[in-house]
Structure 1
Amino acid sequence: MAKQLKTPTRTLTSSADKDAPLKEDIRLLGRLLGDVLRDQQGDAVFEIVETIRQTAVRFRRESDVQAGAELNKLLKKLTREQTISVVRAFSYFSHLANIAEDQHHNRRRRAHLLAGSQPQDGSVACALEKLHDAGVSGATVRKFFKDALISPVLTAHPTEVQRKSILDAEHDIASLLAARDLPMTAKERAENTERIHSRVTTLWQTRLLRYTKLTVEDEINNALSYYRMTFLRELPALYEDIESEIAERFPQRASSASREQPLYIQMGSWIGGDRDGNPNVNGDTMQLALARQSTTILEFYLEEVHALGAELSISTFLAGVSPEVQALADKSPDTSEHRTDEQYRRALIGMYARLAATARAQGATVLRKEIGSAPAYENAAEFSSDLQALADSLKARHGAALIKPRLASLLRAAEIFGFHLATLDMRQSSDVHERVLSELFKCAQVESAYAALPEEKKVALLLAELDHPRLLYSPYVDYSEETNSELSILRAASDIRKRYGARAIRNYIISHTETVSDMLEVLLLQRETGLLRLDTDKDSVGQLELMVIPLFETIPDLRLAATIMEQVMAIPQVRKLIAKQGHLQEVMLGYSDSNKDGGFLTSNWELYKAETQLVEVFNNAGVKLRLFHGRGGTVGRGGGPSYEAILAQPPGTVNGQIRLTEQGEIIASKFSNPEIGRRNLALLVAATLEASLIPAPSETRHAKKLAEFESVMGELSELAYKAYRNLVYETPGFTDYFFAATPIAEIAELNIGSRPASRKATRRIEDLRAIPWGFSWGQCRLLLPGWYGFGSAIELWLTQGDNKAKRVATLRAMLKEWPFFATLLSNMDMVLSKTDLAVASRYAELVSDKKLRNSIFKRIVNEHERTSASLTLITGKKERLANNPLLARSIKNRFAYLDPLNHLQVELIKRHRATMNGGDADDRVRRGIHLSINGIAAGLRNTG
């Protein structure tokens, strides 16, 4: 928020300072925010903010101790109204800085392309080059894409702090900022600046926060905005990019080219179908989610078909049409004599009318009325077939050049998104299924105490019921609300599949899978609601509509995962169902609860072991394994760069099949900018390609080395687990410390999610959801779940042998030769770079018990020092992010603007808790806290 500065025309070719355009953009946005602040709040407030900004910069970047004292003094004497203004100003600056950084990433990528640089790691071009160099054939690559499934799954979680109105304004600012890289006259540049100023003013006058609790409907609508911004156009464009890259690297004779278009990237969603711990999700929300999804994609198709009709003005006097297109034109309601020779237009007018009828049947409002009526499409395949007929006709009649601009991408979109847009997953906790079946068994007089049965008897009963032709459910029995609700949800899934197509819902995920019976229960519930239909032939099993997917989350669950799947796949009835699924079975692994259970190192290691064991079990069973990674935004919840994370997976765990969650503010970070969104999708494809097809070293020496590395990790994990558990679960008063020294209570109040912050109404860490657990540690700048226990483990392990130098050499070899360990340390390096003990100490002062505060905070500080020292010992780098200078500079620049937010958040929390204890809570103070939460989350970018 600097004072008035001139903004000279930038150049992309300056080699003196590649980041100069970024700095210029940040200065511009800061200046405009300052102008808005002065205009909206007055000169006095502007001067306060500017003084705080300059002091914070001096303190952070110049290590000026005196400036730190001045900053503290400045912030403490602010009035309540001034505090809110300062918090808002720095929060908005975090958002604007994100926009500038995203634009700079796009700028640098374009500069590389213009310079003809070698493809960068993470690009599909680079992945294909690596495969070519490794001797992988084009046929193998094409088979990979034919069989692959790469699915990002958007989920709603209480760290999503962006409102759609804010997203829209920021999207406009990003577009205007990007336009400044083009040549502009002085007048054009001034007009561009005025428009950015206007949108920054809009931001200032728009609420960052919701004053009412977020509903599931809000979450659905928020997620759909990313489809309009990015996925609807960028995903088809990415397919086209990849096809071009493959054709260039692995040329194929035209005669051998297949017309079949594989759908290897498909979008998924949990929003509206994930009812684990969320009482607000039910059958109605599932119906709502699909209705909104369908409306979104049909509106897009209507816009594109209308535009295509305007473009394809081809006259049959000059170019003919195929019989198929002529048939479409003949069915069109358009009878205008002006278009008697424009058969493509007439065909598209008819297609538009059919789409409009389809949209109305789904409850959508069609804004541009069709010329006449036509029957709705039965399914998306019919629509795709009509588009393909247009493309074939054009291609056969010298019109191939007319296909690519719009028709090709629309055809691809129709294949990718259908009429459902994204696959909606269902999720529920295993204990709910057990309660529902207990009631059904009891009312049917089959078993009066199902839940109390030992596991063996549960399995036997469930298998017997699966073979039984009669249902347990009776329409003449009054069941509990929970049972009726769960059964109605499954019936809603059946209805949705019939209405929107089988891809609309095809997965049922079981949280807290701990036994074989947990999976069999969901099969039986599907049988009860018509989703599993048994064949009359005793030697076969009928159709299973929803794949039953276990979710292994906690450390004990991960350790049992392979055993449970081995037992499940040994059941003949289940094996027949898996065969119906193409001999493929998905398993979901949760990163969040395992971290909260056992800490960063142990969580990662137990996930690695579980994956390795699952590969062996699935290979022995002859079943293809697809892993679904439940990753969060923060490193403590499995976050970090997706490309490196996929490459770090154990051998044999990817094989062209991967699904992974995209959560919280990470969705906005990755997909609110279309170009960055396409690049993030490309990263997933590139990583999956490399992890699946690049041959792993097979020599005996490599196997022995890997075994040695894994043995060391096992020892380190055990030591780290003890250190973490000792602090979090065995230290008296730690729960009180956590609830006092972090804004967890204030986060729970914030209207940023439809799901409660805790599974039960307790203050136990065990019952707290992993998301607010990690988010809270991020807010107070400790990010403890991303590093705690590592230092103790390394320090103790190094003292356990006679030769410390040899042990250090082993750790360094692990870093150099083992992608899993390298990624682990890289992610921890990033977390430590964002950790700030000085800021965290201010949050510790919120703990009223001085003895407890000093005792626990001292332990945390000591472990931080051990962890930093251990990381330096292994990497040889004292400075954090030494191998990622771009991110290091970004974080360093941001800290100066985060410091005031953290300082003020502590002050506001003190005031808020004081008034809460006095029974007179101040809404303005609460609002200030929530604004600071927003700004800090935006500044750190991956704390959810």
Structure 2
Amino acid sequence: MTDTYPPTSAITIIQAPRNLEIPDALRSDVRLLGELLGRVLIETGGKDLLDDVERLRSLTIAAYENEDTAAFEDAEALVTSFSPERAEEVARAFTCYFHLVNLAEERHRVRVLQGRNPEPGEDVGASFTSTMNALVDELGEDGAQKMLDGLEFRPVLTAHPTEARRRAVASSIRRISELIATNDDPRLGEDVQAETKRTLLAEINVLFRTAPLRSTRPTPLDEVRTAMNIFDQTLFEAMPRIYRLIDDRLTGKAAGTLPPRSHSFVRFGSWIGADRDGNPNVTAKITRQAAAIQSEHVLLGLEHAASRVGRMLTLDAGDTAPSPELLQLWQRQRSLADELTSEIATRSPNEPHRRVVLMIAERIAATRGRNADLAYAGPDDLLDDLRTVQDSLVAAGDKRSAYGEVQGLIWQVETFGFHLAELEVRQHSKVHRQALDELDRGVQPSEMTDEVLDVFRTIGALQSRYGVNAARRYIISFTQEVDDIANVHRLARYAFGDGETPVLDVIPLFETFNDLKNAPAILEKMIELPEVAKRLDETDRRLEVMLGYSDSSKDVGPVSATLTLYEAQDAIARWAERHSIRLTLFHGRGGAMGRGGGPANEAVLSQPPGSVDGRFKLTEQGEVIFAQYGNPTIALRHLEQIASATLLASSPSNGELNASAATTFADMAQVMDAASRERFYELVHAEGFAPWFAEVTPQEEVGLLPLGSRPARRGLSVESLEDLRAIPWVFSWSQARINLAGWFGLGTALKAVGDREQLQKAYREWPLFTTMIDNVQMSLAKTDARIAARYLQLGNRDDLAALVLDEMERTREWVLAATGSTELLDNRAVLQRAVRLRTPYVDALSLLQLRALRTLRGAATQETETTIDQARNLLLLSVNGVAAGLQNTG
């Protein structure tokens, strides 16, 4: 068969920079995908398109590798010379590159995890076995098991608009991912390999030809359905696997024949379709629909799982006798549906366990279809039936079936219930005050107030239909006084009048610098509220408090925010201990460094003593959801690392380490706090800073991207940063290759300390400082001073531009001084490689974005409407590509 495509040597769109060491398997994947993308470019736009892409790629690589100023200027000139149509095609080509190289790296990570043979610099983190061994050494067998029994991890999926790609693109990427995995199988024959590569080429063709930008803003229900893809493809099957993995490691050869040592410690939450703070598109009706969609997916999953388990239990009663309780269960099932059970019995002769489980599957189906005669009242009833089956199998001597497939199904029901993820309502404290003002004055309630009250009725309805755990948490944004908590309970009473209000766990969210400082005093008054005191009695004194990372960072800068968050957690943990409260701190972390991002397992280990205590809860959003949970192998590793870190963080030795370090470096922290905050205020409090920020970044244009259902800012003005949400604040700085939200002020803080030996000692011995420095290394590694300078020139404020660039250079210098390294990320070889692999290609997109921004900034007097539309479209395409290249957008 003749290959009609050009020789592969002419196709080099994806190629690693020459001085970059890449494992052979990863390099092979990158080369293959590059060849296929090159062919697609030729087929789509001709050899001229590939040549233009290649010229720009070569120039940006030369500029990056050799710090070649002439090559950088030539790259700028080339971008300027493109026609509008060519500029868009080139932007899409580089965006495709990022999607493909991300997949190649994901595949390599899976390869490493499955082989457990990490390359040099590959950090696969602590295994659960090593964690439990360490805890046994410290606490003994009973103490370690007690900690494991109390383990809780609560990831909360949010719809914050940081996932820049549309769902059609995400689906195409997932298909390509599966083909890359297939191509990695060494057992493939020549014909299958050829077919796989042909299909890969077809899928990459679809990816390139699919419009990367959404034409309309997604609705909240679109966001719910996107999250369901992760559940369907990964999470439902992954959860019993993580529990099984842990149990296997703890039980050894006896695994599967003993009651599991690992309980179902993960419970998912979701703000998608429930978080209405600043999002008028999320209504009570939407929340009800979101719950129905979630329930449909989980019940369908449970039905299929139960059917599969039932079909497998072909155990003859002569060898595996049913217990009396199992026979009683079968009789109860027969009384519910005699005809259906007769049919099942005919298909399962002398197989009592199979009959019962197949009927359980039918009852789950009836629950989904709302058939009142057969439906389960709730997940507890289903669990009772499954445990009856399990106990019967154990009594009959078949422990492998009991603690194998049946246990897996039990874990799934325990994890997901009939609701999949608890919907957590969030609303701004100001909205509650406005609604109560109307209600207390006895005026005709406005539409807003009616909606507020309907939310409480919706919570009650969801609890009645799906169980209390389907929706009982109510989060108050910008909690500033105890009345903000009391107001939620007052509104619930208004909503139900003389009727019984639903179960509510009201969670204060402390976000700003002052609110974090005042948190213990507010909590002291909170537990005196009758409704809160009653819930403490009902829940064994459990209480949840949420901490906002992003607004505190925008408020006082990343250094002061980090230190203040630590102090707040420490103070809240001490307060909780005094009141015998079982505290869960809820971390409102984002994907980017400016919003508390970074490796979660390292962040857990740097928490104050007593603030974790076996329980960890955090928000997972946007691209982070897909990065952590999109691939089953990576999801398992992520969950194992979080579980390990949560247990280790709760050990006395880790608490003592953090407490000792906080005391040792307290004076240093004070110096850093004051110096960094002063520097941050010098920038953000400068006259005209907010409009300048909007000029030098694509902040206004980011608001045009239909990323999510939530508006980009709370008001219409950009005159004040208070009106701007934290996400576009971080997103915009990252697009400008400045990443200011993640590092600004740290250089000044470190220089104020001044003692390099002291800084290196802190980096070795103070976990909070280590985590801060490593996160800033990641943030700085994705900056580029040359490109940043060109963005900053757009604002015609040399003073502010110089302030930013000076602090960038100072931070880079002093971070290297603190780590004792010569290059950023020298201690993170794999991450360093990933950044270097992408940077020249991100540079190309940044130059295209700058071209568009310059046109738009001068558009008022110089450009035609057509030119403005073309520039705006190019800018939005480049935003999409840079987000894919940087991998953490907001």
Q: Report the TM-score, using the length of structure 1 for normalisation.
A: 0.87
Of 373-382 and 351-360, deviating more is 373-382
1:927 to 870, 873, 877: 873
Counterpart mapping for 1:894-909 below 5 A: 894-909=838-853
Residue deviations 1:658-713 (CA, integer Å, cap 9, x gap):
210112221122221121112112221111000012524759xx967632412220
Counterpart position of 2:147: 144
Find the aligned partners of 1:531 and 1:187 in 2 and give their Cα distance: 71
The CA deviation at 1:319 is 4.3
Find the aligned partners of 1:213 and 1:573 in 2 and give their Cα distance: 40
| 1:341 counterpart = 2:340 | no
1:825 to 762, 773, 796: 773
Counterpart position of 2:115: 111
Amino acid at match of 2:146: K
| 1:784 counterpart = 2:755 | no
Residue deviations 1:214-247 (CA, integer Å, cap 9, x gap):
1111111111111112211111110111122233
Counterpart position of 1:683: 641
| 1:426 counterpart = 2:452 | no
Find the aligned partners of 1:114 and 1:777 in 2 and give their Cα distance: 34
Residue deviations 1:920-941 (CA, integer Å, cap 9, x gap):
2654543332221111111111
Counterpart mapping for 1:167-316 below 5 A: 167-183=170-186, 184-248=188-252, 262-316=263-317
CA contact (8 A) 1:494 1:530 kept: no
Amino acid at match of 1:687: A
| 1:397 counterpart = 2:388 | no
Find the aligned partners of 1:294 and 1:533 in 2 and give their Cα distance: 27
CA contact (8 A) 1:595 1:603 kept: yes
1:860 to 801, 804, 829: 804
Counterpart position of 1:537: none
Counterpart position of 1:478: 444
2:76 to 63, 72, 75: 72
Residue 705 to residue 339, structure 1, CA distance change in 2 (3 Å): closer
2:365 to 334, 356, 368: 356
Amino acid at match of 2:436: L
Counterpart position of 2:763: 815
Residue deviations 1:438-484 (CA, integer Å, cap 9, x gap):
222221xxxxxxxxxxxxxxxxxxxxxxxxxxxxxxxxx73211211
Find the aligned partners of 1:703 and 1:149 in 2 and give their Cα distance: 23
Unaligned runs of 5+ in 2: 12-19
| 1:502 counterpart = 2:468 | yes
Residue deviations 1:619-645 (CA, integer Å, cap 9, x gap):
222212210000011111100110111
Counterpart position of 1:526: 492
Residue 885 to residue 522, structure 1, CA distance change in 2 (3 Å): same
Amino acid at match of 1:931: L
Find the aligned partners of 1:532 and 1:196 in 2 and give their Cα distance: 63
Residue deviations 1:384-433 (CA, integer Å, cap 9, x gap):
23333333333443544445664332221111101000111111111111
Counterpart position of 1:154: 157
Of 515-524 and 391-400, deviating more is 391-400
Amino acid at match of 2:741: P
Residue 406 to residue 56, structure 1, CA distance change in 2 (3 Å): farther
CA contact (8 A) 2:426 2:474 kept: yes
Which aligned segments of 4 or more residues in structure 1 are displaced greater than 6 angstroms? 251-254, 257-261, 531-534
Residue 706 to residue 910, structure 1, CA distance change in 2 (3 Å): closer
Counterpart position of 1:453: none
Counterpart position of 1:47: 51
2:526 to 557, 568, 576: 568
Counterpart position of 1:801: none
| 1:633 counterpart = 2:588 | no
Find the aligned partners of 2:278 and 2:226 in 1 and give their Cα distance: 21
CA contact (8 A) 1:146 1:263 kept: no
Find the aligned partners of 2:167 and 2:805 in 1 and give their Cα distance: 39
Find the aligned partners of 2:6 and 2:429 in 1 and give their Cα distance: 55
CA contact (8 A) 1:898 1:939 kept: yes
Counterpart position of 1:796: 752
Amino acid at match of 2:490: L
The CA deviation at 1:168 is 2.5
Find the aligned partners of 2:399 and 2:799 in 1 and give their Cα distance: 73
2:854 to 891, 910, 925: 910
| 1:937 counterpart = 2:883 | yes
Find the aligned partners of 1:357 and 1:233 in 2 and give their Cα distance: 22
Amino acid at match of 2:504: L
Of 337-346 and 778-787, deviating more is 337-346
Q: Secondary structure at the match of 1:335?
A: helix
Find the aligned partners of 1:6 and 1:734 in 2 and give their Cα distance: 48
CA contact (8 A) 2:158 2:621 kept: yes
| 1:878 counterpart = 2:822 | yes
| 1:771 counterpart = 2:770 | no
CA contact (8 A) 1:163 1:222 kept: no
Q: Secondary structure at the match of 1:127?
A: helix
Find the aligned partners of 2:126 and 2:864 in 1 and give their Cα distance: 54
Find the aligned partners of 1:486 and 1:703 in 2 and give their Cα distance: 43
CA contact (8 A) 2:311 2:358 kept: no
Residue 500 to residue 19, structure 1, CA distance change in 2 (3 Å): same
Q: Secondary structure at the match of 1:509?
A: strand
Find the aligned partners of 2:264 and 2:860 in 1 and give their Cα distance: 54
Find the aligned partners of 2:6 and 2:245 in 1 and give their Cα distance: 41
Of 820-829 and 307-316, deviating more is 307-316
Counterpart position of 2:88: 84
Residue 531 to residue 35, structure 1, CA distance change in 2 (3 Å): farther
Q: Report the TM-score, using the length of structure 2 for normalisation.
A: 0.92
Residue 673 to residue 715, structure 1, CA distance change in 2 (3 Å): same
Find the aligned partners of 1:516 and 1:2 in 2 and give their Cα distance: 70
CA contact (8 A) 1:544 1:577 kept: no
Find the aligned partners of 1:310 and 1:482 in 2 and give their Cα distance: 52
Unaligned runs of 5+ in 1: 8-15, 363-372, 444-476, 535-542, 799-806
CA contact (8 A) 2:605 2:645 kept: yes
Of 612-621 and 816-825, deviating more is 612-621
Find the aligned partners of 1:403 and 1:47 in 2 and give their Cα distance: 62
Residue 507 to residue 816, structure 1, CA distance change in 2 (3 Å): same
2:134 to 119, 130, 134: 130
Find the aligned partners of 1:691 and 1:660 in 2 and give their Cα distance: 15
Find the aligned partners of 1:781 and 1:120 in 2 and give their Cα distance: 29
| 1:752 counterpart = 2:751 | no
| 1:839 counterpart = 2:787 | yes
Q: Secondary structure at the match of 1:234?
A: helix
Amino acid at match of 2:481: T
Counterpart position of 2:15: none
Percentage identity across paired residues of the two chains: 34
Find the aligned partners of 2:6 and 2:803 in 1 and give their Cα distance: 40
Counterpart position of 1:539: none
| 1:166 counterpart = 2:111 | no
Q: Secondary structure at the match of 2:444?
A: coil
CA contact (8 A) 2:247 2:260 kept: no
The CA deviation at 1:797 is 4.0
Find the aligned partners of 2:302 and 2:779 in 1 and give their Cα distance: 43
Counterpart position of 2:516: 558
Find the aligned partners of 1:377 and 1:833 in 2 and give their Cα distance: 54
Counterpart position of 1:487: 453
Residue 398 to residue 554, structure 1, CA distance change in 2 (3 Å): same
CA contact (8 A) 1:531 1:544 kept: no
Residue 144 to residue 176, structure 1, CA distance change in 2 (3 Å): same
Find the aligned partners of 2:578 and 2:683 in 1 and give their Cα distance: 40
Aligned length: 865
The CA deviation at 1:897 is 1.2
- CA RMSD in angstroms comes to 2.9
